[in-house]
Amino acid sequence: MPISVEEVFETASMILHQNLDIRTTTLGINLKDCIDSDFETFKENVCRKISVNARRLVEEAEKLESKYGIPIVNKRISITPVSLIMETHCTKRKYIEMAKAMDNAARDSGIDFIGGFGAMVQKGLTASDTILIESLPDIFSETRRICSFLNVGTNVAGMNLDAVNMIGGMLKQTASKTKDAIGCAKFVVFVNAPEDNPFMAGAFHGVGEPDMSLNIGISGPGVVYSVVDKNRECDLTGLSEIIKRTVFKITRGGELIGRELAGNLDVSFGIVDISLASTTARGDSVANIIEAFGIESMGAHGTTMATALLMDAVKKGGAMASGNVGGLSGTFIPVSEDSGMIEAVKKGSLNLAKLEALTSVCSVGLDMFAIPGDTPAYTINAIIADELAIGIINNKTTAVRVIPVPGKKAGQSVNFGGLLGEAPIMDVSPYSAENFLKRGGRLPAPVTSMRN
């Protein structure tokens, strides 16, 4: 479907008045062909491939920003899950060296983040996977741009609780080694992780992807809020239609940028991720959209239904606009990155239990929320396992990005600055699931795994 001049001008109006932007252009790069038995040669091959392609991404993205006047907030790289390419070099020292080399390559190329320093561990852990996890606290403390993920479950494999049980302790070490626990914001644990997600911290270039592909992540909460705010009297069907049409227009803008940028780079165009990615900027909040529906404060009774309506309309509008919708696509509800979410937690209308309930209908899961630094590792693991079980049972992607902040108690706050925003410290249950988690093993896959 050709993109008209009128659509371009309408998109420009959204940019000027409603905070619309291209949140990220993420170039996925296959690094398997860089492997060498000599580690120094291997590192050089990796850095060369990242640097050459990263510089081209930045240059071409900046040209399109000037051409169309559409802000591209982040230029990012995602790579082959690093544990796969480090199998013959899997020592802690070499993992740290590789991370620092990639970090330097990203810095020198003008790249914001590199995603994919992680592993697929849904059925078990290799020696490389285990050493990677043990290395992450040092990696996060010695790099600035490296982001990591673990995929610990799928609908077919179930969930690997042994892998989950390694995460809480790793996060507490990371929190103690990085200022305000900021390293924890660069790690996300998934079930059903998509291979073409352009958003950090969970982006990686999956083994089913081509040698290189370009994935686009668009934003747009401000645009959706604007149309919802102007239509406070229509019924739910009408409200859904208004949101669908708006997201259609937003997605078309992302499609335009993505296809042209991929063509200029001479790489495959991957997907447009249509997730409503909020920021702390005024008027750019998903929580404010929900409140404009008629909910007094995010987290009040009725919020889950309102979020389900928003999520459904976003997906339908995006699917109408592009045949390449993918990634996470839906509605993010990160606490620290959304001014309305921050306010809801501070006033007490939104707590951790309600946040977990909302993730059953929204995109991704428990994202960018902070908890007391003295929370036991097994409680962190239990929070993660609860959330990921929702994804396994409901056949959807869910994820957790939790930040245990040393020295902070529930009711206090930590300010990360920039896009990461401010995180009120959320209370956790004082009761233990330690003996349950000690059982280890694997949560069996649901019966949906036998659909074939």
Digit-coded pLDDT (tens) for 361-385: 987 889 999 999 999 999 999 999 9
Residue 292 C-beta-side C-alpha neighbours within 13 Å: 24
Parallel/antiparallel/unpaired status of strands 113-115 and 72-79: parallel
pLDDT at 451: 64
- Picking from 57, 53, 55, the residue whose alpha carbon sits closest to that of residue 65 is 57
As given in the structure block, the two tokens for residue 279 are 């920021």
Sign of CA dihedral 315, 316, 321, 324: positive
Can you tell me the distance from the alpha carbon of 28 to that of 14, in angstroms, rounded to the nearest whole number?
A: 28
In this predicted structure, what is the pLDDT of residue 217?
87
- CATH code of the domain occupying 1-446: 3.20.70.20
User: What is the structure's pLDDT at 15?
Assistant: 57
Question: Of 71, 86, 29, nearest to 53 (Cα)?
Answer: 29
User: In the 8-state DSSP scheme, what is residue 33?
Assistant: G
Per-residue model confidence (pLDDT) at position 27: 94
Q: How far apart are CA 271 and CA 262, in angstroms?
A: 11
Alpha helices (runs of H) in 322-433, residue ranges in sequence order? 339-347, 352-358, 377-394
Residue spans of alpha helices (H) in 205-351 = 221-229, 236-265, 286-293, 303-321, 339-347
Residue 413, beta-bridge partner list = 424
Count of alpha carbons within 13 Å of 319, Cβ hemisphere only? 9
Selection from 21, 45, 23 nearest residue 34 by Cα: 45
- The phi-psi region of residue 69 (left if phi > 0; otherwise alpha if psi is between -120 and 50; otherwise beta) is left
Question: What φ, ψ does residue 384 adopt, rounded to 5°?
Answer: -60, -45
pLDDT at 6: 59
Q: What is the pLDDT along the chain (452 residues), one digit of tens a residue?
A: 555 555 555 655 665 455 567 788 899 999 999 999 999 999 999 999 999 999 999 999 988 888 877 778 889 999 999 999 999 998 999 999 999 999 999 999 999 999 999 999 999 999 999 999 999 999 999 999 999 999 999 999 999 999 999 999 999 999 999 999 999 999 999 999 999 998 888 999 999 899 999 998 887 788 888 889 889 889 999 999 999 988 888 888 788 888 999 999 999 999 888 888 787 777 788 999 999 999 999 999 999 999 999 999 999 988 888 888 888 887 888 899 899 999 999 999 999 999 999 999 987 889 999 999 999 999 999 999 999 999 999 889 999 999 999 999 999 998 887 778 889 999 999 999 999 999 999 999 888 766 66
Closest to 223 measured CA to CA, from 12, 26, 6 = 12
Q: Of the candidates 108, 76, 82, 80, which has an alpha carbon nearest to the alpha carbon of residue 95?
A: 82
Give Cβ neighbours of residue 199 (< 8 Å, ≥ 6 apart). 23, 24, 26, 217, 273, 275, 277, 327, 328
